Structure 1
Amino acid sequence: MIRIIQYIDQNWVVWLFAAITTLLGFGYRQLAKRQAEDRKASHALHDGMQALLRDRIIQAYNHYQDKGFCPIYGKENVKRMYDAYHELGGNDVATELKDKLMKMPEEPAEREE
């Protein structure tokens, strides 16, 4: 029994560091796993938001194209959507549609009275 106590007394620091190292390694693996999952979720949200903004720009273009004009509030809304879409890395057909929409008249050609 005295030998066990002497062994513990002489080696407790080694065992303590081994335990701490094991716990730190486990914690690091858990943290790395969580960061990978968060990165994947963030990427999915990024892509989803970009797709939604692109869809809304296309819908707005189609709506105002059918009407033949785009009021100022519609242009402002599309501009804001496009700016966010562009910041997310989008830059395809939506750019052309936004430019065409900005060139549309702001009022109908003929007013019904």
Structure 2
Amino acid sequence: MKEILQYVDAHWVEWLFVVISTLLGVGYRRLSKQMKEEKVKNEAIKDGIQALLRDRIIQSYNHYSDKGYCPIYGKENVKRMYDAYHVLGGNDVATQLKDKLLAMPEEPAEREE
């Protein structure tokens, strides 16, 4: 028994480092797993928001092209949606639609009666 106590007394620092290293390793693995899961979720959220913004840009374009004009508030709204869409990585047909929409007149053409 005396030998065990002497061994523990002489090597307690090493065992403490082993325990701390083990706990840090387990904690790191757990944190790494959670971060990977969050990354997958965040990517899905990003893709979903990007798809919704793209859909709204297309709907706005269709709505205002049917009217033949786009008021300033509509242009500002589409520009803000497109800016967020672009930051999220979108850059396809929505770019062309946004440009066409911003080039539309802001008021309806006057009708001749």
State if a TM-score over 0.5 links the two structures.
Answer: yes
Q: Deviations over 1:6-47 (max 9, x none)?
A: 121122122111111110100110111111112112211211
Query: Cα distance, 1:110 vs. partner?
Result: 3.2
* Partner SS, residue 108 of structure 2: coil
Q: Deviations over 1:67-108 (max 9, x none)?
A: 111111101111111111111111100011111111211111
CA distance in 1, matches of 2:73, 2:36: 41
Task: State the partner residue of 1:104.
Answer: 104
Task: State the partner residue of 2:77.
Answer: 77
Query: Cα distance, 1:50 vs. partner?
Result: 1.0
Give 4+ residue runs of structure 1 displaced > 4 Å after superposition.
none
* Partner SS, residue 90 of structure 1: coil
Q: Which runs of 5+ in 2 are unaligned?
A: none
Tell me which amino acid in the other structure corresponds to 1:93.
V
Tell me which amino acid in the other structure corresponds to 2:74.
G
Tell me which amino acid in the other structure corresponds to 2:18.
A
Task: State the partner residue of 2:8.
Answer: 8
* CA-atom RMSD in angstroms: 1.3
Q: Output aligned runs, 1:1-113, within 5 Å.
A: 1-110=1-110
- What TM-score do you get using the length of structure 1 for normalisation? 0.90
Q: Which runs of 5+ in 1 are unaligned?
A: none
* Partner SS, residue 89 of structure 2: coil
Tell me which amino acid in the other structure corresponds to 1:15.
W
Give the length in aligned residue pairs. 111
CA distance in 1, matches of 2:14, 2:71: 75
